Amino acid sequence: MTRLPLSYTKKMKDLLGEDYSAYEATFSCAPSRGFLINAAKIGAAKFDEIFSLPTRPVPYFEFGRILDSEEKVGGDPYHAAGLFYMQDPGAMSAIAALPSFGKKILDVAAAPGGKTIGAAIASPDSLIVANEIDFKRAKILLQNVERLGLKNVAVTSLTPKDLGKYAKECFDLVICDLPCSGEGMFRKEPAAIECWNEGINGMNAARQKEILTDVLPCLKEGGTLLYSTCTYAVEEDEAIVDFLAGEKGLTPISPKSSVLPYTAPAAYGYPSASLARRFYPHIAEGEGQFFAILKKEGDKLYTQKTIPSSLSANEIKKIRAFTDENIDGDVGDLAKNGDSIFAVHPLARTIPLKYLSEGVCLGEFVKGRFEPHHNLFTAFGADFKNKEDLALSDKRVKEYLYGLEIEAKTAKEGYCAVCVEGFPLGGGKVVNGTIKNKYPKGLRIPKL
């Protein structure tokens, strides 16, 4: 049985009253495992048909599944092909609760990517700017976005202050899933208990207020703020909603009614937080979560200026020659960022931020020649003209994911996409009937 700090249990008994014993009992059960189906690549019905492990739907989010298996999925070819992203079902509830998304979305604290990915698949016509202050974590976020081949996500690694300074009134929706004391994760991550102390809630609340103050200028008039944490502390939850409604003038609004049966009302004593919801493991399967949705008053009309790309006509010609030769259909607008060439989401060029990625990284010029990036294959691989499409049972699937060269049976000489059952894993280059493996070294699965 997990040992919880005494002052924490006292606080939770006060908060939950007679429900405390049901909450405490959840520590004797294993946490649920969940994942999001990547609807940008596969419909939910088709996914359910081809996925071999037992799953159940998450009742409040059509893209969510609960995985009834302990099996590791990191090496699963469909995971490598970006068909799903592991996420706790409780963490899905905040995005599932949003009544609308709007066109431009900012996820302020996005790594490793759960909320961003939820929003990107639930609202495919939106652009999500996924920001993560910690550069190492931003790289992990980018890797997840690339694996899923999402075309509607751009990634930044900026401070909240810089977001507020450079992207004023740019966003219809700002997601603030902020660092917190993690009380809702005590069952799944017992290490969070070690970090807990009586002063931690006040310290987190001060940081949450500071981040919110910094990023609120990013929100358009009439825009929506989603505030969420994975803690039960009222100082970091309801009291922050009070702060947003009182000091910042935002208006709380109702979440979608579909999440109500799976969540509890907010804690008493905070009238402006009465529409916020709490996700508890004794009410629904998943770990703890708190969320509140608030609106910024007004309905100003905004003009959008597009920032021109710095690509030269010659560079555009060379990239178009490559994409026209290799890909069916158009990859969209192009832009250069450092040495990398991106197929940019058109809305990204209307937001004046310094991006790590502003869409799909297509590749870069090496000694004047265009070299494709892994992301080109994860996002456009299904449309690649030259393909080696492997059956799930083909031993070359694992060999490719190990980083080995594989035999080309259908792909012709030159660059090719390597797919499993039609879903791209990555790229390769066929030389004399052998596919030279272009699957990135850092992603290769170890050969046991």
Minimum distance, C-beta of residue 174 to ligand SAM, in the bound complex (Å): 12
CB of 378 to ligand SAM, least distance (A): 19
Please give the Cα distance from 46 to 423 (Å, whole number). Answer: 12
Q: How far apart are CA 281 and CA 24, in angstroms?
A: 10
Give the integer Cα–Cα distance in Å for 328 and 73: 31
Q: Does 114 participate in binding ligand SAM (rule CB under 6 A)? A: yes
Cβ 110 to ligand SAM shortest distance, Å: 5
CB 160 within 8 A of CB 50: no
Judged by beta carbon, residue 180 or residue 334, the one nearer ligand SAM is 180
- Subset of residues 185 to 244 that bind ligand SAM, contact rule: CB under 6 A: 207, 211
Region binding ligand SAM by CB under 6 A among candidate stretches 12-20, 104-112, 237-245, 386-394: 104-112
Catalytic residue (choose from 176, 180, 218, 230): 230
Distance of CA 271 to CAs 238, 239, 315, Å?
Answer: 9, 10, 58
Q: Looking at 74-82, 112-120, 271-279, 383-391, which segment touches ligand SAM (CB under 6 A)? A: 112-120
Alpha carbon distance 227, 266 (integer Å):
13
Strand pairing partners for 224?
173, 295
d(CA 166, CA 162): 6
Instruction: Indicate whether 137 belongs to the interface with ligand SAM (CB under 6 A).
Output: yes
Yes or no: say if 406 and 425 are a contact pair by the CB < 8 Å rule: no
Using the minimum distance from each CB to ligand SAM, give the nearer residue, 115 or 396. 115
For ligand SAM, which stretch binds (CB under 6 A), given 127-135, 388-396, 404-412, 439-447?
127-135
Q: How far is the CB of 161 from ligand SAM (least distance, A)?
A: 9
- At 199, the amino acid letter reads G
Q: Report in angstroms how near the CB of residue 91 gets to ligand SAM at its nearest.
A: 6
Closest CA to 115 of 230, 242, 208: 230
Using the rule CB under 6 A, give the single segment among 110-118, 218-226, 255-263, 332-340 that binds ligand SAM. Answer: 110-118
- Is 161 a residue that touches ligand SAM (CB under 6 A)? no
Which of 57, 179, 217, 222 is the binder for ligand SAM (CB under 6 A)? 179
What's the CA gap between 150 and 433, in Å, rounded? 31
Q: Is position 112 an interface residue for ligand SAM (rule: CB under 6 A)?
A: yes
Q: Is 230 a catalytic residue?
A: yes
- By CB under 6 A, tell whether 88 contacts ligand SAM: no
Site membership for ligand SAM, residue 113 (CB under 6 A): yes
d(CA 243, CA 235): 10
Query: 3-state SS of 186-216?
Result: CCCCCHHHHHCCCCHHHHHHHHHHHHHHHHH
Report the catalytic residues: 230
> Under the rule (CB under 6 A), what is the footprint of ligand SAM?
91, 109-115, 132-134, 137, 160, 177, 179, 207, 211
